[in-house]
Amino acid sequence: MDSVRSDRDAGRVTLPKAIKILVAGGFGAGKTTLVGSVSEIEPLRTEETLTHQGIGIDDLSGVEGKKTTTVAMDFGRITIGDDYRLYLFGTPGQERFWFLWDELALGALGAVVLADTRRLADCFPSLDYFERRETPFIVAVNCFDGARRYDLDEVRLGLTLHEDIPIVMCDARRRESGKEVLITLVEHAMRMRLGPAPSSR
Amino acid sequence: MPASDEHPDTQWVGEAAGAIVRPYVLTRGRTEPTRGRFDLITLAVAVGPAHAGTGGLDPECQAIVRFCRRPQSVAEIAAHINLPAGTVRVLLSDLLDQGLIATQEPHSETDMHDEKLYKAVLDGLRAL
C-alpha cells in the first residue's frame, strides 16, 4: 500500500542504492582516519539518537522501557558509478555500548574491525558483537608508527579469530591501504552471503 | 528563577540546553517520522519544479529541499544542516508527505544476496 513511496507522480526519479559499511574498533584505533583516507569527501559528523531497552540494573527505579543515548559518528562516502553509493561509518568509540549498534548494523554490507596491537583487547567487544550478529567482518591491524610489529598469525591467535575470517595489515592513513581493506571485506561478505557454491538444501 | 510561562516565546531553558531542546521544537515535539524508517543511508532528493511550494516551510525544511537538489543521505543532510539525525527524519517525513522529496531506502539484508551488487562495488573500489 504505502510501499511505493518514491515514485508517486514525481517523474520517477532514479536514485542510487546506498550501501553501508561499518568501521569499528577501540578508541583511537584509527576509525576516522580510515574513513577519511578512502572517502571522496572530508569525513562528516552526525549525531544519532539510539534507543535501547533499559537493562535490568536500575531495578530500584522501577523505570522500564526505552532509554536513549546520543552518539556521534563520523562518516565518509564513495560513489560507485550511477547505481551505488558506499557510506562508511566510524562507530561510536564507547565500545561498551555495543548493544546500541543494532540500528546501525541493520542492512550493513559488513564491518571492518580495526585492531591496535598496543591494545588488542579493545576490539574484543566489536568482534563478539559482529560474530553474534553474523555480520560479515574482517580484522584490519592498523600499523602505527613505533608500534611493535606482530605476526598476523600471532594477532589471530590473540583474538581467537576463526580461520575463515580474513585479517590484514593496514596503514589507515594511506588511501591504497584503506582501499585494500575494503576490497578484502567486500570479497569476504560476498563469500559469506553467496557461499562458494549454491548447493545444499 | 520563575519563568514567565504565559508567553510561548520566553526562553525557559538555559543556553546549554538549547541545543537539545531546539531540534524537537522544530519537529513540534515529534520524535518519530510519520512513516518509513529512514535509515542513516536512506537517500532523499527534491522533486517537483525548483523552488515550488517551499515558501511556507521552516528555514530548515527549505534548506533540506535546497540541499537535496542532488540526492543526499539522511546522514549527509543531518551533518549539512547541523541537526541530529532523529530530527532530520521527522522533517523528511513531512517533506515526503508534502510531495517535495522522493526517497530511496537502502538494501534490505535480503538484497545483500545479489551477486551483481558485490561485483559492482568491487569494480568500483578497484578503480579508485
Give me the domains of chain A, ranges plus CATH numbers.
17-192 (3.40.50.300)
Q: Which residue of B has its CA nearest to A49?
A: B86
| B35 dihedral zone (left: phi>0; alpha: psi -120 to 50; beta) | beta
Task: Tell me what percent of the residues of chain A surpass a pLDDT of 90.
Answer: 52
Residue A54 has pLDDT above 80, yes or no: no
pLDDT tens figures, B46-90: 997 665 667 788 899 999 999 999 999 999 999 999 998 989 999
Residue A85 has pLDDT above 60, yes or no: yes
Identify the pLDDT of residue A59.
42
Of A10, A89, A107, the CB nearest to B109: A107
Would you kindly state where each structural domain of chain B is located, as residue ranges?
15-107
Instruction: Report residue A180: phi and psi, to 5°.
Output: -60, -40
Contact A18 B124 (CB under 8 A): no
Residue A192 has pLDDT above 90, yes or no: yes
Taking only residues 77 to 106 of chain A, the set having a beta carbon closer than 8 angstroms to any beta carbon of chain B reads 77-81, 83-87, 89, 104, 106
Higher pLDDT, A71 or A136: A136
In angstroms, the CA B87 to CA B65 distance is 15
**Best residue in B43, B109, B114, B121 for a mutation probing chain A (most A CBs within 10 Å):** B121
In this complex, is the C-beta atom of A3 within 8 Å of any C-beta atom belonging to chain B? Answer: no
In angstroms, the CA A163 to CA A157 distance is 10
User: In the CATH scheme, what is the code of domain B15-107?
Assistant: 1.10.10.10
Residue A116 C-alpha, separation from nearest chain B C-alpha, in angstroms: 25
Greatest mean pLDDT range, A48-62, A98-112, B81-95: B81-95
In this complex, is the C-beta atom of A6 within 8 Å of any C-beta atom belonging to chain B? Answer: yes
Identify the pLDDT of residue A49.
74
CA-nearest of A169, A142, A183 to A25 is A142
CB A114 within 8 A of CB A100: no
DSSP string, chain B: ----TT-TTS--S-HHHHHHHHHHHHTTT--S-SSS---TT-EEEE-SSTTTT-TTS-HHHHHHHHHTTS-EEHHHHHHHHT--HHHHHHHHHHHHHTTSEEEE----GGGGG-HHHHHHHHHHHHT-
pLDDT bin (cut points 50, 70, 90) of residue A111 is very high
ipTM of this model?
Answer: 0.83
The pTM assigned to this predicted structure is 0.82
Identify the pLDDT of residue A196.
74
Residue A157 C-alpha, separation from nearest chain B C-alpha, in angstroms: 29
Rounded to an integer, the average pLDDT of A160-179 is 95
In this complex, is the C-beta atom of B103 within 8 Å of any C-beta atom belonging to chain A? Answer: yes
Q: Which letter does DSSP use for residue A140 in this model?
A: E
Residue A199 has pLDDT above 70, yes or no: no
Rounded to an integer, the average pLDDT of B23-37 is 77
Identify the pLDDT of residue B27.
81
Task: Tell me what percent of the residues of chain A surpass a pLDDT of 70.
Answer: 75
**How far is C-alpha B48 from the geometric centre of its chain's CA atoms?**
18
Greatest mean pLDDT range, A71-75, A99-103, A159-163: A159-163
